[in-house]
Amino acid sequence: MSGHNKWASIKHKKAKEDAKRGKIFTKVIREIIVSARDGGCDPESNASLKNAIVRANAVNMPKENIERAIKKGTGELEGVRYETVFYEGYGPGGVALYIQALTDNKTRSVAAIRHVFSVHNGSLAEKGSVAWNFKKTGSIMIPQNDYDEDEIMMKALDCGAEDFVTQDEFFIIYTDAKELNKVVTSLEKENIKIESAELDYIPQNTVPANVNASQIIKLVEALEDLDDVQNVYANFQIDDEILEKLTGE
């Protein structure tokens, strides 16, 4: 898990850097639109929307942008209709990749994803090829500097968390996917600041990937740079030192 957790914290830092350039806003706005469309405009009764708003706040998205996206989702404002689609593939060394997209044009999305795979020595796979290896899980990140580790761990477990790890400057709490909103709400009632809360897909089996680390990171980052791609999940296991060198973290 250490390599996966290190990558989780690196991706979070990268998202905050991308937010400074407005790059991540498009992805978060799409998430809010779809969440509001599917579950309504009230975040207290719509767990998906609440998590999307937490993510928006984590990247300092202006309140008016959030409100406009919600209105587009509920139909109060005109907007594009996005559809959630998952793509599956393999990277160098047999690393499995599970790709979540929000798109209004599946033909465009699959063509762009296939192109990225071909450029980076990977291949798009048939549906079901790798999905079985990824467990849908709630993931919550809390800044370490603000809290005592033992206190947060006990509170997290009392609130219904399944696992608790420490990585870089974050405490990462894992929950059952259906319990994510409940755990977030319970932690907030304890006046605990949530840095991010989202549904994640955790690989159940990992592949050692130090030899192909550079190629794999370039492939994942190229996929994440596509506008239609929301998240890329992978089952690589890369040593922290190598990840730090490749990503500058």
The pLDDT tens digits for 180-238 are 988 988 998 888 888 888 889 999 999 999 999 999 999 999 999 999 999 999 999 98
187 within 8 A of 156, measured Cβ to Cβ: yes
Return the CATH number at 33: 1.10.10.200
End-to-end CA distance of the chain: 18
Task: Provide the 3-class DSSP secondary structure of residue 172.
Answer: strand
Q: Which of 205, 202, 213 is nearest to 172 (CA)?
A: 202
Of the pLDDT bands very low, low, confident and very high (cuts 50, 70, 90), residue 55 is confident
100 within 8 A of 86, measured Cβ to Cβ: yes
Q: Which tokens go with 106?
A: 């599946």
The DSSP bridge partners found for residue 202 are: 135
In a domain, 33, yes or no: yes
In a domain, 166, yes or no: no
Q: How many domains does the chain have?
A: 1
pLDDT digits (tens, 9 = 90+) for 15-28: 666 655 567 888 99
pLDDT score recorded for residue 75: 93
Strands annotated E in the chain: 83-90, 96-103, 123-125, 134-143, 163-167, 170-176, 196-203, 207-208, 229-234, 236-237
In a domain, 54, yes or no: yes
Residues 37 and 54: their CA atoms lie apart, in Å, by 17
pLDDT score recorded for residue 49: 92
Residues 165 and 202: their CA atoms lie apart, in Å, by 14
In a domain, 62, yes or no: yes
Domain range for residue 26? 2-74
| pTM attached to this predicted model | 0.88
